[in-house]
Structure 1
Amino acid sequence: MSTSSLLAPVAPAASKPPACPSKKTTASCSRRTVSCRATTGDARGDDSLLWLPRRDVLTGLGGVAAGLAGFPGLASAADECQGEKINSKIVQCTDPNTGFPCPPPSKLKIVDFTPERSVTRCRRPVHKLVPEFQAKYQEAVRKMKDLPESNPLSFTAQAAIHQAYCDGHYRYDPTKVDAPFDVHFSWIFPPWHRMYIYFYERTLGQLISDDTFALPYWNWDSPAGMVIPPLFATARVNNSGRSKINPLYDQYRNQSHLGKLVDLDVLNTPQGTPLIPFNANAKQQDQKYMAAVNKNLCTVYQQQVRVGGPDPRSFLGEKLCSEVKNDRNSQGTLESMAHTAMHVWVGRATPTPPATCSAGNGGFLGHDGTYHCENDMGYLGTAGRDPLFYSHHANVDRLWNIWSTNLDGGNGFKDKDWLNASFVFYDNYEDPQLVRIKVSDVLDTTRLGYTYEDAKSKKQPWMSPTLTPLVPHGKGSSPPRPSPPAKPPVYPLTLEKNKVVEVPAVALPAKPTEAGKLRVLVIQGIQYDPCKLNKFDVAINVPASKGLQVGPQCTEYAGTFAVVPSSKEGGGTLQCKIVLCIDDVLTDIKADNDSTINLVIVPRTDAAINLNLAPTIQYQTISSDAASVSA
């Protein structure tokens, strides 16, 4: 096997593997720089190397950069949030916590992505894999884990990609700890992760000399796949009569959730609720089990069709803005709903107070200087260390593909800032090369050489779930108004777990008559601590007394805000917003032609979330170029 001069030397066994090499380099840039700051590793010390080249240049078109290169490079893109013109950005890779030097600058030429000539890979659900493919999958991951950590296509390096770009290591301004770059919380989330697992999949196929190898997906949106797959659940496997370590196993999972029916609304379910054993042969007579399955299906229906599906900005995420203190970045429902729930479901539970997270109980030491026990999947800095992460994201990618093709989402945006955003990834583990790939390259999966088993199916189990109203609506029913009338909240407002907030008489614009015009609920100025679990639900025309019963199975449900915990160097909070399509909700609760609606906000987690601005309902136009919002 050959290696490149780009590769970092392996740290001595006695050293902590660095999150970034430590030697600082600089280069000229326009107005801003981006810095990768280090973690100090975790209690394991087995795979915490975060290998990065010492410097890379990000070029963009008029505006601010929309992405950083996958591993190691940076991306090009723009966003005219303030009309700022940036032509280059520099990543400075520093690690003040170790003496491990930065690797030398790359002399490799970056090549542009070339579409694959034909579709050779068909991704299938994990629970349907035949034993032969299961063994092949295990062999491929085993070989990836056996690669030297210094190889940029090793499993360690693949996990490092996600840690670097999803856990605050990069920032728009290295002098400001409140300006991190992240591939979450914007329209960058879906294409970046598609690119990431594409190169991961290619490497697995190369390692076993099989160009037809396709990454299987965890089909948690189907009743038959609503369980952590048994293929991943045991520490050892029997192979031809011999017991071997299972390379798909990760001890840093919530062990109590193995063999249990998943909960796609996990942060809503009250603590202490008994877990339901998974039963692939459950009958309709098992009402409790079928109600839980229906709730899961409702979650996916809400994110794909009802509150997310009609609008690309609600489903994929808002245009990325990079201003420090910016609060306009927004998750799409593809990120905030089932995706986030499954990260939390698989990751470990935090210790119950007064116990605390530490190295002694397997905590991961983030670059914020604190230990995190939600690892691996439940914390962005370690999520890529769990092999299940990649099959999880293959399913997220599949749901994007379904939205694009079978639900008429199309390409999502025609905005050049999105289409031209580019990232650089490594390819070819034997002789690593750098490949620049654009968002426009990945909108059609066939150009990447893969498809999904159900790609042409118009039927999904979540397309027709049962939604149930919490209260009557329409003629002959008593309007679910607060009694006595609630006073409007005073902002800024701090949300507290299970304390329902009523926002009465929110102005509702008239039902639009123009094609492509929607009404959206906008909650801007959401301020939260990214190091903690954060979630609140939103519903329309529900009395506060019913607020805690709100969930995706309810007709009145209008969406959610939820994030997977991550680090933030220096502590503090981040700000963002959510944009949710509500026309279908208004129709279902017979409020289409009302002049006002009552909103309830239901906090689900212990972390304090501040709302700095009052929610509003606005028109959003889906144009041929991009969505625009107006009051």
Structure 2
Amino acid sequence: MSTSLPLITSSVTTTFTARTKKTQGFRVSSCNNVTPTNNDDNDNNQLILPETQKLVLPNNMNVDRRNLLVGLGGVCTAANLASLSSTLASPITAPDPKCKYSYVDKPGSAIRTLKCCPPNLGKEVKPFVFPHKKEPVRMRWPAHKGTKEQVEKYKRAIAAMRALPDDHPHSFKQQASIHCAYCNGGYTQIESGFPDVELQIHNSWLFFPFHRWYLYFYERILGKLIDDPTFALPYWNWDDPAGMEIPEIFLGDESNPLYDFFRDPKHLPPRVVDLAYSGKDQDIDPSLDQKECNLITMHRDMITNAVDDISFFGGVYVGGSEPVKNGDPSIGSVEAGCHTAMHLWVGRPRSEFPNGEDMGNFYSAGYDPLFFVHHANVDRMWKLWKDLCLPGHVEPVEDEWLNSSYLFYDENEDLIRVYNKDAVDMRKLGFDYSHTDINNVPWRNSRPAKRKEKLPPASGGVHPGKQPLKLTDKNLKVRVTRPDPPKDDDRKNYKEVLFIDGIKHKGNKLVKFDVFVNDKISADDQALSTCDPEYAGGFAQIAHGSDMAMPCGARFGLDELLEDTNSEDDKVAVVKLVPRTPAEKITIGNIRIDWVSASIPLADVEKLNSEVFLPVKLGNILKVSIDRPDVIEKRFYKEVLSIKGKNLDNKAVKFDVFVNDKVNKNSKKEDLPTPCSPEYAGRFARLPLNNGDSSSDFEVTFDLDKLLRDTKTNHKREVVVALVPKTAETKSLIITDILIKLV
């Protein structure tokens, strides 16, 4: 047994009590003598990143949060039922087909109908069932590379859909109206207990899973219409230079079922798309071309600004939340970036059609077949983001995300309720993407050219303390003090991130502004291009919903930007906000810079040599050695890691679990375990349960059998478990027990 790690001796729980082994050690199973407090020294506003490629869920996390009030399983024990407040967050639950008229900014000028409610066939809602394993995998293909057979099948399927009567759930109109109903005020959160609160699936962590389910049923319906169980959608490969034009198969006239009149004629081929489009064609540096600039944008959206689940998926959105109004309001990097840019780039200009039909408005976007092909590539970004295997690249695992659900008519006209947790594994859903090797994507290393000389620090700008800041039609410069960096030996464990919080604007207005940091070149009333290294990214919102003020936020990674602009040593960052649309009643609540954690903190490894007595506060990292139980007939049992703890109900909890990692004080950054590493056991996360001072117990378990085989450590008599907190609040969590069970 290693002497460099604290020892915790495990109890064993089996189905036969006669075989239960109990040994004494440093484990303390009671948690009554230690209570987490709100006054923890480590508690600050720092946000910490996660790290994961595969979504490894705790065994007891598949719980409908609404059922916790009647039978607390999973995250809280029944003993703490009385401490739970009525403010317990619940997953978003889409209602039955009853809905109301949708709305747009200019209803009198609407080209498409605002009657977006689905037909009510009087059918009971059925649970989702995964496709049979023997079904062929539907391999989605790049639209610019489709074979003659693939293109003909696709056109025939769309033509068959167009031929159906409008009131048929599979009709072209009804499939287009799904987006309208979910995005333009057709539904409320009545099933989540909030009948007066609008349901919105954009601008939050619902964005990716909702659209994945939308495409899933759309694809299967098209296949059913042409009696082809192998039918697969194309995807618009706009992240590759060869696919950066509207695919040829969508051109022509109304004789082509893929044609749509409401596309900007100025942006038809051979015009190259602008993945940072803001409603106006930009002039870029003559030394670059638009395709190269697009690759820089993709790198920014997928890597630089997508450092963790919140940055990529968007902020938390639960029952009772106003659209984009929640505890951590932010819009995902891809949604706010290339996704929205392509909607605006394809749709008709608002100077011609006030509502920007078709792709330029959520209510009408589904009427253009390009919408589904565009979103197929957006969905592909989800896959590629995970395949990058970078720290932080993992889906949310909070119960409120896993159990958020929607309703769709399937290919058999049955009404099906689907959940986010079932959208994670594409292979189980029976589809995949061709030409999607992460090692071959052209934007992976497409950082902008570094400035050749070091310029004096940027000057000017107002202090962010003068808040809220009002964004007008003129550029706004803000001076933001950078926080002190972590200690030198721990710096590589952190990333520097710019937060723009509390962005308020009218939901029925098109909003876009760009963000530049340390622009030391252009005048105050001017701006560089989106291809320049000073460009941090953009904030964009397509008009949808009512004229209510919609609060949200954005995040931008700074590490690469500061390096590429030779600004690493500047004490202050000057942030320039450049409005690209009329800045009507846009305010900014706060602009700040913070450090976020990325991986196992190497600086704390040397602190792990002392014995640990449980219960213990988690701190920066907890790493312990645990005895494995004796097994007589291993084939009858499954080995499970159990972690128990106590946490304040008003604190968010998120920690990652690694088993038998080989990290030590001499490890290099490239040797740290990643989301793809076999040592990764999974993650536990929980949102605050209420605003009081109560605390709750939790237990989370992780399967070990496959992990031990994959790490080639199943012969060892002990395992090394590392718990790594992903938020500052998690550091105050009390761990009361860590043990291995046989079940």
With the length of structure 1 as denominator, give the TM-score of the two structures: 0.73
- Paired residues in the alignment total 509
Return the match for 1:490 from 450, 466, 474: 466
Counterparts of 2:458 and 2:355, CA distance in 1: 42
Shift in Å, 1:254 = 0.8
Counterparts of 1:600 and 1:147, CA distance in 2: 51
Change beyond 3 A, Cα 1:134–1:592: same
Q: Does 1:574 align with 2:550?
A: yes
Shift in Å, 1:488 = 5.2
Give the structure 2 partner of residue 314 of structure 1: 311
Give the structure 2 partner of residue 93 of structure 1: 99
Counterparts of 1:331 and 1:377, CA distance in 2: 19
Shift in Å, 1:412 = 1.9
Give the structure 2 partner of residue 303 of structure 1: 301
Equivalent pair of 1:488/1:502 in contact (CA under 8 Å)? no
Shift in Å, 1:441 = 1.4
Change beyond 3 A, Cα 1:511–1:592: farther
Equivalent pair of 2:480/2:592 in contact (CA under 8 Å)? no
Give the structure 2 partner of residue 462 of structure 1: 443
Counterparts of 2:116 and 2:542, CA distance in 1: 30
Shift in Å, 1:442 = 1.7
Deviation readout 1:594-616 (Å, 9 max, x if unpaired):
54322221211113252242201
Give the structure 2 partner of residue 539 of structure 1: 516
Q: Does 1:255 align with 2:265?
A: yes
Give the structure 1 partner of residue 580 of structure 2: 604
The amino acid of 2:590's aligned partner reads A
Change beyond 3 A, Cα 1:269–1:373: closer
Shift in Å, 1:106 = 3.0
Counterparts of 2:521 and 2:333, CA distance in 1: 24
Equivalent pair of 1:116/1:448 in contact (CA under 8 Å)? no
Equivalent pair of 1:61/1:87 in contact (CA under 8 Å)? no
Equivalent pair of 1:540/1:599 in contact (CA under 8 Å)? yes
Shift in Å, 1:108 = 2.5
Give the structure 2 partner of residue 559 of structure 1: 537
Equivalent pair of 1:59/1:88 in contact (CA under 8 Å)? no
Counterparts of 2:409 and 2:459, CA distance in 1: 57
SS at match of 2:266: helix
Counterparts of 2:93 and 2:239, CA distance in 1: 41
Equivalent pair of 2:514/2:579 in contact (CA under 8 Å)? yes
Deviation readout 1:313-365 (Å, 9 max, x if unpaired):
111111114434836432101101111011001000012xxxxxxxxx7x5xx
Counterparts of 1:381 and 1:224, CA distance in 2: 30
Shift in Å, 1:173 = 7.3
Deviation readout 1:21-71 (Å, 9 max, x if unpaired):
xxxxxxxxxxxxxxxxxxxxxxxxxxxxxxxxxxxxx984679xxxxxxxx
Equivalent pair of 1:113/1:435 in contact (CA under 8 Å)? no
Give the structure 2 partner of residue 343 of structure 1: 343
Shift in Å, 1:523 = 1.2
Shift in Å, 1:455 = 3.1
Deviation readout 1:524-559 (Å, 9 max, x if unpaired):
111112222211122222248356433442222222
Shift in Å, 1:125 = 0.6
Change beyond 3 A, Cα 1:221–1:85: closer
Give the structure 2 partner of residue 50 of structure 1: none
Q: Does 1:198 align with 2:216?
A: yes
Change beyond 3 A, Cα 1:492–1:466: closer
Return the match for 2:128 from 103, 112, 131: 112
Change beyond 3 A, Cα 1:222–1:86: closer
Deviation readout 1:255-312 (Å, 9 max, x if unpaired):
12111111111117557x69xxxxxxxxxxxx9595211111111110001122x212
Equivalent pair of 1:167/1:567 in contact (CA under 8 Å)? yes
Shift in Å, 1:420 = 2.1
Q: Does 1:228 align with 2:246?
A: yes
Change beyond 3 A, Cα 1:178–1:226: farther
Shift in Å, 1:567 = 3.1
Counterparts of 1:398 and 1:319, CA distance in 2: 22
Counterparts of 1:62 and 1:544, CA distance in 2: 56
Matches within 5 A, 1:98-497: 106-118=122-134, 119-172=136-189, 179-236=197-254, 245-259=255-269, 260-267=271-278, 269=280, 288=286, 291-308=289-306, 310-321=307-318, 322-324=320-322, 326=325, 328-351=328-351, 363=353, 372-408=354-390, 411-428=394-411, 431-469=412-450, 477-482=454-459, 490-497=466-473
Deviation readout 1:69-116 (Å, 9 max, x if unpaired):
xxxxxxxxxxx9953568988665345999999976734341223244
Return the match for 1:530 from 488, 507, 510: 507
Counterparts of 1:104 and 1:209, CA distance in 2: 25
Counterparts of 1:585 and 1:448, CA distance in 2: 38
Structure 2: gaps of 5 or more residues: 1-63, 70-84, 104-113, 599-654, 657-683, 686-725, 732-743
Deviation readout 1:450-487 (Å, 9 max, x if unpaired):
11112334111112325135x666xxx3323215x755
Equivalent pair of 2:480/2:591 in contact (CA under 8 Å)? no
Shift in Å, 1:212 = 1.2
Counterparts of 1:257 and 1:289, CA distance in 2: 22
Equivalent pair of 1:511/1:592 in contact (CA under 8 Å)? no
Shift in Å, 1:151 = 1.6
Counterparts of 1:413 and 1:94, CA distance in 2: 31
Change beyond 3 A, Cα 1:381–1:83: same
Counterparts of 1:434 and 1:104, CA distance in 2: 10
The amino acid of 1:425's aligned partner reads F
Counterparts of 2:376 and 2:116, CA distance in 1: 34
Give the structure 1 partner of residue 650 of structure 2: none
The amino acid of 1:113's aligned partner reads V
Counterparts of 2:126 and 2:379, CA distance in 1: 26
With the length of structure 2 as denominator, give the TM-score of the two structures: 0.62
Equivalent pair of 1:217/1:393 in contact (CA under 8 Å)? yes
Counterparts of 2:537 and 2:443, CA distance in 1: 16
Counterparts of 1:215 and 1:574, CA distance in 2: 34
- When Rg is computed on C-alpha atoms for both structures, the one with the higher figure is 2
Deviation readout 1:355-408 (Å, 9 max, x if unpaired):
xxxxxx7x5xxxxxxxx4300000001001111100000010111111112344
Superposed CA RMSD: 3.6
Structure 1: gaps of 5 or more residues: 1-57, 64-79, 237-244, 275-286, 352-360, 364-371
Give the structure 2 partner of residue 500 of structure 1: 475
Change beyond 3 A, Cα 1:166–1:460: same
Aligned residues: percent identity? 33
SS at match of 1:555: coil
Shift in Å, 1:510 = 1.4
SS at match of 2:512: strand
